[in-house]
Amino acid sequence: MAYQISDACVSCGACAAECPVSAITEGDGKYVIDADTCIECGACAGVCPVGAPEQA
């Protein structure tokens, strides 16, 4: 199941820069992950300073 970004997101952009398939974009107040594009690699979760990306 694809990753989702929780409300803990601080909009730093670290996850978007790390995503190998560009599934993460800046949303309204937090970044969002396109579930159809996400390959569930976990790279975003590994670089997030607040642990916002979580497996859905």
Residue 1 has pLDDT above 90, yes or no: no
pTM: 0.93
Express each pLDDT in 15-38 by its tens digit: 999 999 999 999 999 999 999 999
Give SS3 for 32.
Answer: strand
Which domains, from first to last, does the chain contain?
A: 3-55 (3.30.70.20)
> Amino acid letter at 45?
A
Q: Which two tokens stand for residue 25?
A: 């974009």
